Structure 1
Amino acid sequence: MLSIQISSPGKVELVEQEKPILLSDQVLIRIHYVGFCGSDLNTYLGRNPLAISPVIPGHEIGGTVEAVGKDVPAGLFAEGMSVTVNPYTACGKCSSCRKGRPNACEHNQTLGVQRNGAMSDYIAVPWGKVIPAPGISPRDCALIEPMSVGFHAVDRGAVSDIDTVMVIGCGMIGLGAVVRASMRGATVIAVDLDEEKLDLAKRLGAAHALNSKSANFHEELMALTGGCGPDVVVEAVGSPVTYVLAVDEVAFAGRVVCIGYAKSDVSFHTKLFVQKELDIRGSRNAMPSDFNAVIRYLSRGNCPMEELISRIIKPEEVSETLQYWSENPGKVFRILAKFD
């Protein structure tokens, strides 16, 4: 079978591998689409210290059931069923796992990062990691995992209908946070540098959109929040500037939820942590309930899926596409590799 492999920084190869041998507790998935995550781009650029090398990338999966192992509980899966995959592992022993939060497992190994991923014609995974998505196309299934990360951040922020929520960064994960917060009845303020992304955020549920390049950003935000600032800020960029912005602008007694990984140290005026009595919370990966919530949302059929997909490419186009993405990061929502 054909696989995409990042062999070393800047080098992508198409390699032939043996089709997976299906174990008794596994499901064999025919891969149709796999999304490229920012972690895949960083692996390509040599900036992902967690990634093995060489590695087959990919953990945003859209596929169909090809075969089911003999020990998989009957009735869960049928041949041809649209599915996605929970790409994380959980050791079951660390503090996070014992507290019922396996998404933050200390020893997690994500597909395409610490172990080979899904950018192949087929992948075999334990049946408990396979998530049925009835009524959703394999293409759209590839968008479930990144959107679920944004859904999880909103859950970490304990967002409710009395909150005003500012989401900084309207990429795929940030848009997931916009959708989930608006579904919970919150007033959502979307923040980004790109007007196209801000327009889409408003169509997905944001009540307001602010361009962070605006010279009057603080004044505009205060006007929208009655001079108090947002109750919850979701940081979905991973930049020192946006981390500081989140702490500076969140309301007193507010919550800051951090998704993005800043690639350099961040300097804070820590007096704001105390003066505002802030809750600062990390948000990592997603829980099964977040996947299910995204599937329920997409099943409604009112999400503009085509606008979330920047490109669909063939495996042989991966190298030039990753180079394009590295040079134009602000113009990409999701790039999907098609294996049909």
Structure 2
Amino acid sequence: MKAIQIIDQGIVQLIDLPLPQLERGQVLLRVHYVGFCGSDLNTFKGLNPLALMPVIPGHEIGAVIADVGADVPSNFIPGMSVTVNPYTNCGQCAACENGRPYACEFNQTLGVQRNGAMATYIAVPWEKIIGDAAISVRDFALVEPMSVGFHAVSRAAVTDSDRVLVFGCGMIGLGAIIRAVRRGATVIAVDVSDEKLRLAQKLGAQYTINSITENLEERISAITDRRGADVVIEAVGRSETYTASISAVAFTGRVVYIGYAKEKIPFDTQFFVKKELDIRGSRNATPADFKAVITYLKTGDCPIDDFITAVIPPEEAQSALEHWSKNPGDVFRILVQF
């Protein structure tokens, strides 16, 4: 079977692998679509310190059940369209014992710390399968990244009285915007791409700011009556947006970081104290977040076609990642179709 492998910085190859052997409790999936995400791009660029190398990328999955192993519940039926919860947990670390296994200290995400789903077939434990007859196999490939954004909004405890500012309108940031809008919050979207900002507005963001062409501080001040945002969600992972989040948030506000910064960042920590901020990390997503995204997609309100920049065959993975690397503002999601 075909598989895509990132073998070194800037180098992708198409390899041939034997079909996975089903073990007890596993489900064999025929992969149809897998999304390239920001972590895959960073692995390709040599900027992902968590990544196994070489690695088969991919954890944003749209697949169909091909076969089931022994001891798999009878509701998992060949032909079902599904996605996969791509995280692992040890059951014994502090996060697991505190009921937050998605943030397990020893988590191994598909396509990052272990080989992922960019192959014709994969075998996964049945407990990781998420299905719904109302979602197409293609659209299932968008569920995981949106779930990460949904989770950040839950971490921020967003309510309908909050002004929520989201830095970054990629797939994860858009997920955060959707969830905050659905909770009734007033949403401010910030990006450097007018195209992405137009999509954020289409999804319900009441205000948009292009931080290249507009004065970020002045616009936030005007929108929030000089108070700052009650909640800031950072979905970029750059030093500029990390520090701008502290400036943009209101006194006693909440800051949630999703993006992985690639370098050490100096903070003026006096504002942590002066503003008495709640500063939180947000990692991965819970089963409830996956369910919430699926519920949203079933409303029919999501302009899904606008999220998909390109659908490519595996043979074009190298050129697609090269293009994304050189033109980050032009890409929402690239789906690889097997």
- Mean Cα deviation higher: 52-61 or 174-183: 52-61
**CA offset at residue 214 of structure 1?**
3.9
**CA offset at residue 216 of structure 1?**
3.0
SS across alignment from 1:22: coil
SS across alignment from 1:237: coil
In the TM superposition, 1:1-340 aligns within 5 A as 1-75=1-75, 77-339=76-338
**CA offset at residue 215 of structure 1?**
4.3
**CA offset at residue 24 of structure 1?**
2.0
- Work out the CA distance in 2 between the residues paired with 1:129 and 1:102: 13
- Mean Cα deviation higher: 173-182 or 12-21: 12-21
- Work out the CA distance in 2 between the residues paired with 1:216 and 1:39: 30
TM score, norm. by length of structure 1? 0.98
Report if aligned partners of 1:84, 1:133 keep a CA contact under 8 Å in 2: no
- Mean Cα deviation higher: 24-33 or 41-50: 41-50
- Work out the CA distance in 2 between the residues paired with 1:302 and 1:249: 30
Report if aligned partners of 2:86, 2:109 keep a CA contact under 8 Å in 1: yes
- Work out the CA distance in 1 between the residues paired with 2:62 and 2:165: 30
- Mean Cα deviation higher: 198-207 or 45-54: 45-54
- Work out the CA distance in 1 between the residues paired with 2:198 and 2:40: 27
Q: Among the aligned pairs, what percent are the same residue?
A: 61
Alpha carbons of structure 1 residues 215 and 3: separation in structure 2 relative to 1, 3 Å: closer
**CA offset at residue 212 of structure 1?**
1.2
- Work out the CA distance in 2 between the residues paired with 1:166 and 1:45: 29
Provide Cα deviations, 1:27-51, integer angstroms capped at 9, x if missing partner: 1111000000111112112222211
**CA offset at residue 103 of structure 1?**
1.1
- Work out the CA distance in 2 between the residues paired with 1:216 and 1:27: 52
TM score, norm. by length of structure 2? 0.98
Partner amino acid, structure 2, of 1:28: L
SS across alignment from 2:317: helix
- Work out the CA distance in 1 between the residues paired with 2:162 and 2:38: 29
Provide Cα deviations, 1:269-300, integer angstroms capped at 9, x if missing partner: 11100000000000001011000100110111
Provide Cα deviations, 1:166-213, integer angstroms capped at 9, x if missing partner: 001000000000000000111111111111111100111111111112
Report if aligned partners of 1:171, 1:197 keep a CA contact under 8 Å in 2: yes
Report if aligned partners of 1:133, 1:141 keep a CA contact under 8 Å in 2: no
Report if aligned partners of 2:5, 2:14 keep a CA contact under 8 Å in 1: yes
Alpha carbons of structure 1 residues 215 and 44: separation in structure 2 relative to 1, 3 Å: closer
- Work out the CA distance in 2 between the residues paired with 1:216 and 1:28: 52
Report if aligned partners of 1:19, 1:122 keep a CA contact under 8 Å in 2: yes
RMSD: 0.9
Report if aligned partners of 2:232, 2:254 keep a CA contact under 8 Å in 1: yes
**CA offset at residue 134 of structure 1?**
1.9
Partner amino acid, structure 2, of 1:318: A
Report if aligned partners of 2:47, 2:262 keep a CA contact under 8 Å in 1: no
Report if aligned partners of 2:111, 2:117 keep a CA contact under 8 Å in 1: yes
- Work out the CA distance in 2 between the residues paired with 1:265 and 1:211: 25
Provide Cα deviations, 1:219-262, integer angstroms capped at 9, x if missing partner: 22122112211100000011110111100110000000000111
- Work out the CA distance in 2 between the residues paired with 1:244 and 1:48: 21
Partner amino acid, structure 1, of 2:325: S
Consecutive unaligned residues of structure 1, counting only runs of 5 or more, are none
**CA offset at residue 217 of structure 1?**
2.3
SS across alignment from 1:251: strand
- Work out the CA distance in 2 between the residues paired with 1:227 and 1:55: 47
- Work out the CA distance in 2 between the residues paired with 1:186 and 1:112: 34
Alignment: residue pair count: 338
Consecutive unaligned residues of structure 2, counting only runs of 5 or more, are none
- Work out the CA distance in 2 between the residues paired with 1:74 and 1:80: 13
SS across alignment from 1:14: strand
Provide Cα deviations, 1:130-174, integer angstroms capped at 9, x if missing partner: 111321111111000000000000000000111110001000000
**CA offset at residue 70 of structure 1?**
2.2
- Work out the CA distance in 1 between the residues paired with 2:124 and 2:104: 19
Runs of 4+ in structure 1 over 4 Å off: none
